[in-house]
Amino acid sequence: MAIEVIDDLATWRRALDASRSAGLSVGLVPTMGALHGGHMSLIRRAAAECDVAALTDYVNPLQFGPSEDLGAYPKNLLRDRELAAEAGAQLMLAPSPEQVWPDGEPSTSVRVSGLTDRLEGEARPGHFDGVTTIVCKLLSLSGPCRAYFGEKDYQQLAVVSRMVSDLSLPVQVVGCPTVREVDGLALSSRNAYLSPDERAVASRLYHSLLAGKRLIEEDAVTDPACVEAAIAEHLGAERRFSVDYAAVVDPADFKRPERIGSGEVRLLAAARLGKARLIDNMAATPAAAQQ
């Protein structure tokens, strides 16, 4: 199906308003471009569940710290357009920063507290404020819709869901499972930074989380610190990885539970490998909570 690429915010708003006026439901997939199979799974889901699948393709400078990879972030609009169309998108918003913020850097910031205190929020100061500010703007521009986000960025999914709920935005947030390479590495635009040697060991991040999950589900380990240490040790055993964090959290508040036992927990880890900073996560359900 043909895809229409729009770079102007007013035209985007009109296009989606017109779809809804014609009685069509809208599925929105916010992305930073450099599309891969993970993004395509979100677009496919939006296309399957909604009449119009629309994606935004915008590298958001606000969510990058001063020493991060904004300048190096991969970009390929022509390829994105092809992949998005192949996955079933009909509309794509690809504006410049000047089109997004015609008055220059915004004076407004949207901030979700609490959920952003730890993990990515701690490792990347200001990151989530940048995310919620742009996502709030994109949701406000796009109007009532279902919005698809990946579990790959699990904390982001929780933070955006909380923002939508707190601000009563007319949006239903849909979390979608992480798409992985055959060896378990989560697809990510940043995997492009890995050298062949680094790529060969990158799936250790996934396998270290799996090792933590086994401790909880099969060995009935209930001490979160013990599981965190095991994940970090497994990951750090490959010396090219520099571990940022390995954490066990209650998915409701992203705090470490005192004890693992009564319900599902989330295991999250972040590590540097060469020029890439990789993140991943998975659920673990203690045996006692599985019945």
Active site residues: 39
Binder to ligand AMP among 132, 188, 191, 281 (CB under 6 A)? 188
Binder to ligand AMP among 186, 235, 267, 278 (CB under 6 A)? 186
Which of 32, 41, 56, 28 is CA-nearest to residue 169? 28
Give me 120's structure tokens. 């990515």
Query: Are 261 and 289 within 8 A, CB to CB?
Result: yes
Question: Phi and psi dihedrals of 219, rounded to 5?
Answer: -100, 0
CB of 272 to ligand AMP, least distance (A): 17
By CB under 6 A, tell whether 55 contacts ligand AMP. no
What residues from 72 to 131 belong to the interface with ligand AMP (CB under 6 A)? none
CB-based contacts of 34, cutoff 8 Å, min separation 6: 73, 74, 75, 76, 80, 189, 192
By CB under 6 A, tell whether 64 contacts ligand AMP. no
Question: Phi and psi dihedrals of 86, rounded to 5?
Answer: -60, -35
By CB under 6 A, tell whether 189 contacts ligand AMP. yes
Query: Are 207 and 229 within 8 A, CB to CB?
Result: no
CB of 282 to ligand AMP, least distance (A): 12
What residues from 120 to 159 belong to the interface with ligand AMP (CB under 6 A)? 149-150, 152-153
Give the interface size with ligand AMP as a residue count (CB under 6 A). 17
What residues from 12 to 51 belong to the interface with ligand AMP (CB under 6 A)? 31-32, 38-39, 41-42
